[in-house]
Each structure stands twice: as C-alpha cells, then as structure tokens.
Amino acid sequence: MPTPDPAPLVVYGPASRAYDFGPGHPFTPRRFGPGIDLLRELGAEFASFAAPAPVADEVLATVHTRRFLASVSRLSDYPELADDESVTDEDTPPFYGMRDAGATVVGGTLLAMDEILAGRRLHAFHPGGGLHHGFPSRATGFCVFNDVAVAIRRARDEGHRVLYVDVDVHHGDGVEQIFWNDPLVQTVSLHESGLSLFPGTGWVEDRGGLGAEGSAVNIPLEPGTSDASWLEVLGSVVPAVAAAFRPTLLVTLNGADGHALDPLAHLGLTTVAFARAARLLDGVAHRHAGGRWLATGGGGYDVYRAVPRNWALVWLAQAHRDVPVATPQAWRARWAAEAEGHRSGPPSALMLDPDGTARPEAASVAAANRATAAAALDHTLRVLAERHRR
C-alpha cells in the first residue's frame, strides 16, 4: 500500500458546472464560484484538485436500470420530449447534455472513492457530489444519477463495510433504498421530518429490509431544530452506530441546507453545527474506519453564505486544520457584487455564525428530537449486537 497523501483530495473541474437545470433553479452551479474560491483562499492547493469526467453506462448500471439510462440519454438529446410519463419530475427538469453532466457527478465521486480504495488518500471531498435522491429508475429532487450509491457499491464490492452518514436536511431516500437489503452498508440519515419537507419519507420505523434489519437509521427532526439538539442527536447516534457496525470506510453527505438561512427548509442550524459535525465525522473515520472518509457536498441553496462556509468547514476538518475566525477579506470582496446581484446578503465575515444567528429552539423540539434519536438508536444497537453474536 502506498503512503496516503495527508492533503485531502478535492474533486472539482470545469465540467462540474455542466450540471445545471437552468436560470432560477435553486441547485445552481453558481455555488462553485464562491465555494471553490473559499477553499483556495483557505489553502487548498491546486495540486490537491482533480477534475471529474463522465463515466460509461456500464458504471451507472451498477445502481440504475438500463431502461432508465436509455430514457435519460434520450431526454438529454431532446429535453423537450419530457412529458407526464417521464422519468424526471418537475423539480428535476431535463436539460440538454443532462446525461453527461449527471455522469460527470458520478465520475467525480468515483474518482474520490478510487483514490481512497487505492490507499493514495485517506480523505477526499467532492463538493458537487451527493445526489442522494437518485433512484434506480427515477430522477427526482434535483438528482439524476445517484453518485454516492455508485461509489458505495464499488467500495462494498471490494469488500468494505460502508457507513453512510447523511446530514443534508432532506432524507437520503435514494441511497437508503438502493442498500435497503444490504447488511454491509449501514445508512444513517438526519433530516427534517417528512411531515414538513421533501421527500416526505425517512421515518424512525424504517430500519432496513429482510436480512438487513437495523441497517437503515432514520432520525426525522422537528422543524425549528437548532444547533443544540441537532448536535446532541448527531453525537449520540453516529459514534454509537459506528462502534456497533464496525465500518471500514465512511461516506458522508454534508448538505448545507439545514442552515437557518436556507430558503428551502425549516431548520435553524448555523455553521457552528456544520463545523462540529465535520470534526465529529473526521473522528469517526479515524477511530472506526481506518481514516477512510469520502465526503460529498449535497444540497444547500444559500449560495454566498451557508454553502461556501460549509464546504470550507468540511475541507478544514479533512485537512486537520483549525477554523479561522474570519473569512478571507479578498474572498468577501470578490463575491460581494455577485451576491447583491442575486438579492443575497453579503458573503459572511465570520466562519462561525455568532450567537443569535438562529432562533433558539423550543424545549418541546429538543425533547421530541431526543426521543426520536433514542428510539432509532436503541433498536439499531440491539440488532447490530445480535448480528455480531451470530
């Protein structure tokens, strides 16, 4: 085995921007401007970047049906053919070149995974990856192909036990379903409750299929959840599941859409929670998974404030560097005008949001979240302990 490079790999290139549903769509490639620029300003070296390229249909077919792949290729050439019978939904409209753009996202996450599997890197980060709503034969929730599932399948086929932790504000439904019956892939999703948010699934009682009971953990959180109880839930569930499951590799989806400023969801998180989560996941990777950690960016729709700082906090945790107090002045200056042009507040001056950024959560919210986490954890730990005894 080669000695792993201590610098985390960052997957990003010009082709990353091709995944674009058009003007006005919230999942915009504009995110890469301030996001990647902030990583560079904080010290991510050019040599640590690798550019993604599209993968072949054979690779996509490890999680998607051939019929779906053919439909996506057709829509990619003729987006105007989309109709009610289509494999896409209203939020995930076909666009010209969609097949290669989606296959490039998969290529990026696989590139990161292959570096880790080959032992060349311990940590890798693909900000443009994390399309967790991709299903075997359906594109939904801004997600065409499920890059995380393709990468997890490759690791699993090479004999790894994969722990997947999804802290995006939306339920990681596609990944969960693809590995529903697979006891070698443990999924954990913290998300806003399906009662108030897309995709409307991910209940605490959903725990994995026959033969893989306990291999899915779902923590639906109350709207209004803020840092304190989100971190309490994360800290009580993830290290305990990792200790019980004994992964050899960690894959995470670090969405920024739980942030209080996010326009699409109703949690009240700040970058303090994102920073602590990234450190906790780094600790879990080193303590339980030989240090192997692939992170993806997932969702996040506050382009100039929440997303770039979240990506930076993931990268800083992977680089084992301290979080600076302020964001670089040059970075703020470069993106201020564009932010204003898109009716956003200015790029944030502080890396960590100060107290008072989010409304404090109600005691009832914290109590409900605590009970949900306890119920999910209790069951999983029991099942995993039993599985190890057999």
Segment contacting Zn ion by CB under 5 A, of 49-57, 282-290, 300-308, 333-341? 282-290
The nearest distance, CB 290 to Zn ion, in angstroms, is 11
Q: Read out DSSP for 204-251?
A: TT----TT-TTSEEEEEEPTT-BHHHHHHHHHHHHHHHHHHH--SEEE
CA angle 210, 216, 221 (to 5 degrees): 140
Segment contacting Zn ion by CB under 5 A, of 60-68, 143-151, 183-191, 278-286? 278-286
Of the pair 173, 282, the CB lying nearest Zn ion is at 282
Segment contacting Zn ion by CB under 5 A, of 89-97, 180-188, 275-283, 331-339? 275-283
Of the pair 8, 183, the CB lying nearest Zn ion is at 8
The nearest distance, CB 256 to Zn ion, in angstroms, is 20
Please, are residues 129 and 50 in contact by the beta-carbon 8 Å criterion? Answer: no
Of the pair 222, 282, the CB lying nearest Zn ion is at 282
Binding to Zn ion, residues 310-329 (CB under 5 A): none
Please, are residues 184 and 208 in contact by the beta-carbon 8 Å criterion? Answer: no
Of the pair 282, 353, the CB lying nearest Zn ion is at 282
Residue 19's nearest CA partner among 299, 346, 223 is: 299
The nearest distance, CB 315 to Zn ion, in angstroms, is 11
**Cα distance between residue 237 and residue 378, in whole Å:** 10
| 361: contact with Zn ion by CB under 5 A | no
The nearest distance, CB 239 to Zn ion, in angstroms, is 15
The nearest distance, CB 286 to Zn ion, in angstroms, is 5
3-state helix, strand, coil in the chain (%, to 5): 45, 15, 45
Segment contacting Zn ion by CB under 5 A, of 69-77, 189-197, 277-285, 367-375? 277-285
Of the pair 60, 316, the CB lying nearest Zn ion is at 316
Question: Shortest Cβ contact with Zn ion: which residue?
Answer: 282
**Cα distance between residue 96 and residue 80, in whole Å:** 9
**Cα distance between residue 113 and residue 110, in whole Å:** 5
Of the pair 282, 361, the CB lying nearest Zn ion is at 282
The nearest distance, CB 266 to Zn ion, in angstroms, is 32
The nearest distance, CB 285 to Zn ion, in angstroms, is 6
The nearest distance, CB 291 to Zn ion, in angstroms, is 6
Q: Greatest CA separation found in the chain?
A: 61
Which are the contacts of 154, defined by CB distance < 8 A and separation ≥ 6?
62, 110, 113, 114, 117
Segment contacting Zn ion by CB under 5 A, of 12-20, 185-193, 263-271, 274-282? 274-282
Segment contacting Zn ion by CB under 5 A, of 103-111, 157-165, 280-288, 298-306? 280-288
| 166: contact with Zn ion by CB under 5 A | no
Helix (H) or strand (E) holding 294: strand 293-296
Kindly determine how many residues on this chain lie close enough to bind Zn ion according to the rule CB under 5 A: 1
Of the pair 230, 315, the CB lying nearest Zn ion is at 315
Q: Supply 25's token pair.
A: 């769509």
| 282: contact with Zn ion by CB under 5 A | yes
Query: What distance, in Å, lies between the first and last C-alpha atoms of the chain?
Result: 32
Count CA atoms within 13 Å of residue 388 on its CB side: 10
Residue 163's nearest CA partner among 183, 189, 130, 186 is: 186
**211 φ/ψ sector (left φ>0, alpha ψ -120 to 50, else beta):** left
Q: Which of 64, 123, 126, 133 is catalytic?
A: 133
Residue 112's nearest CA partner among 71, 164, 148, 66 is: 148
Burial 109-132 (b: 16+ CB within 10 A, else e): bbbbbbbbbeeebbbbbbbbbbbb
Give yes or no: 160 in active site: no
Residues that bind Zn ion (CB under 5 A): 282
Known catalytic residues are 133
